[in-house]
Amino acid sequence: MGTVAEQFIEVLRQAGVERVYGVVGDSLNPVVDAIRKTAGIEWVHVRNEEAGAFAAAAEAQVTGRLAVCAGSCGPGNTHLLQGLYDAHRSGAPVLALASHIAGAQIGTGFFQETHPDRQFVDCSGYCEMIGSAEQMPRVLRIAVQHAIGHSGVAVVVLPGDVADMPAAHGTGTHGFLTRQGTVRPPSDQVAQLATALNSAEKVMLFCGAGVRRAHEEVMSLAARTLAPVGHALRGKEWIQYDNPYDVGMSGLLGYGACYDAMQEADLVVLLGTDFPYDDFLPGKRTVQIDHDPAQLGRRTPLELAVHGDVSETLLAVLPQVARKTDRRYLDKMLSKHVKTLDNVVNAYTRDIEHHTPIHPEYVASVVDELAADDAVFTVDTGMCNVWAARYLTPNGRRRVIGSFKHGSMANALPHAIGAQFADRGRQVVSLSGDGGLGMLMGELLTARMYDLPVKIVVFNNSSLGMVKLEMLVDGLLDFGTDVAPVDYAAIAAAIGLGSVRVEKPTQVREALATAFAAPGPYLVDVVTDPDVLSMPPRITAKQVKGFALGAGKVVLTGGVGRMIDMARANLRNIPRP
């Protein structure tokens, strides 16, 4: 039957796992050796276990299947934590193997002793230790099913000596749940929802990641209720495309008329979103639809909570919704949306060929234009989130992955590695800040080692731009946010990556086109303006006063890119009497 470690890997293969991300060593060695001897699964050597957890999270989000990372005892485990927090909060089905010291030494203060069965509880939905061979394969299968069934992290703690024991039971075969059923709302909730929609004169729909696979149903409801449709950041890729009712995004990175549409509505319908910024919500006149009952009402008071998948709920309620005929509210918001975007077009188009350092918005707009129609974009936390939110154009096939709920720095490159391992033939573009890249720069070595064709676009402003903005709006001096300039293209070239440094805006398009056409990994190091910041659609008087103390900064109040063309088209399509 082999060892427990070999049985562990056999169970992972039964679950469809093709690789494990981690760093070899110590108590993890029996498991790594089992991978060596097992066909169909590979060990991916990352430079930091944190990056391995990020990579697993991205692979799981791109494929929808279980992905796995591992850390050896002590520091190997603790390095995993950051990436696992991101994976769990992003709803990525990830299994983490936290290897442990020998069972006889647990509790003695032994070398590298930690308590992984305690450490990982807060960033997982399941965390248990296998202390004997008799617990296998049952406990591992339970962990796998938790990760898949609850779309989150499951952690198995395995002492190294237990991994090396002979297996006590045969592995056998097992069919894992790989596709979940749908949640249909109770009929009385559907009736109440129909009543609320029919009673309101001005309905607004606000969408999160839960509208995935519900685009058609949301558009049907918007058409019937003449509702503006806005979105949170995680809803952008699923709802903004082919959307004649689009009014942009709300939140700290928001743009367009979304915030105003929400405040003016008689009824706001939250669709599959756990939007955390309650200051941007009206705090009243709100209905929420979600498949997770624990999320209902935890951000804002509700007039009605509806438990169900968005698509199933809308299919049930649409026959009961009367068709509205008064377009004044919708047309007003569409017009306001275009006006808001128009006001900032020149922010990234005026004198771009002469402005140095380069406008980061211009770089993002060219990336959007040149990238493949099914590209996967991974986005660093901070100002790169802003440029992605405002300049990347979704189409239903592109993906945008970031640490949108945990907000960790340095996620973009390791996320890109995981996404590229999931599909080597798909274009993967990492939008990296220089702060994030510097934090986990060792993963450039991983991309080079496996010849992964990731394209790394570095927004190099020698500054932590989002932190600078946070300080300015609080009336603080932006202290500690600027760093010495670094030539990341030279670093990439030194380790064998294709690279180019771009300091003039006239070089941007050619550099990106060359990178996207390159067969292997390629880094484009763009020197961008550190004084280009962004402002949310709503800012308090106190924040305005604070920001005034940071005079001389360039402030954007919206976003453009190809979205302005879509917004203008929507406006042109308004029926005229």
What Cα–Cα distance (Å) separates residue 368 from each residue in 113, 360, 396, 398?
Answer: 47, 12, 14, 11
Q: List the one residue out of 97, 96, 166 whose CA is nearest residue 132.
A: 166
Instruction: Give the up-direction half-sphere exposure of residue 490: CA atoms within 13 A in the CB hemisphere.
Output: 3
**Lowest-confidence region among 231-235, 300-304, 512-516, 566-570:** 566-570
CA distance between the termini of the chain: 78
User: Residue 459 is encoded by which pair of tokens?
Assistant: 């927004």
Calpha distance 17→11 (Å, rounded): 9
Q: What single-letter amino acid sits at 525?
A: D
- The yes-or-no verdict on residue 344 having pLDDT over 90 is no
Domain ranges of the chain: 4-164, 187-338, 348-570
**Lowest-confidence region among 233-237, 261-265, 551-555, 564-568:** 551-555
Q: Checking phi first, is residue 337 left (phi over 0); if not, alpha (psi -120 to 50) or beta? A: alpha
Residue labelled with tokens 């089905």: 93
Calpha distance 327→321 (Å, rounded): 16
Query: What is the CATH architecture of 187-338?
Result: 3-Layer(aba) Sandwich (3.40)
Indicate the burial class of 241 (C-beta count within 10 angstroms; 0-12, 13-18, 19 or more). Answer: middle
Asked if the domains at 4-164 and 187-338 fall in one CATH topology, the answer is: yes
CATH code 3.30.365.10 for 4-164: no
- pLDDT digits 0-9 by tens, 473-495: 566 667 777 788 999 999 999 99
Calpha distance 136→139 (Å, rounded): 6
Could you tell me the pTM of the whole model? Answer: 0.91
Q: Which fold has domain 348-570?
A: Rossmann fold (3.40.50)
- What band does 544 get if pLDDT is binned at 50, 70 and 90? very low
**Lowest-confidence region among 150-159, 330-339, 454-463, 550-559:** 550-559
Q: What single-letter amino acid sits at 158?
A: L
Q: Please provide residue 513's backbone torsions phi and psi, each rounded to the nearest 5 degrees.
A: -65, -40
- What band does 235 get if pLDDT is binned at 50, 70 and 90? very high
**How many helices (H) does the chain have, and how many strands (E)?**
24, 21
- What band does 23 get if pLDDT is binned at 50, 70 and 90? very high
Give residue 366's Cα distance to chain centre.
21
Calpha distance 417→59 (Å, rounded): 8
- The yes-or-no verdict on residue 349 having pLDDT over 70 is no
For 480, residues 6+ apart whose C-beta sits below 8 A from its C-beta are none
Calpha distance 176→148 (Å, rounded): 9
Residue labelled with tokens 């932590």: 464
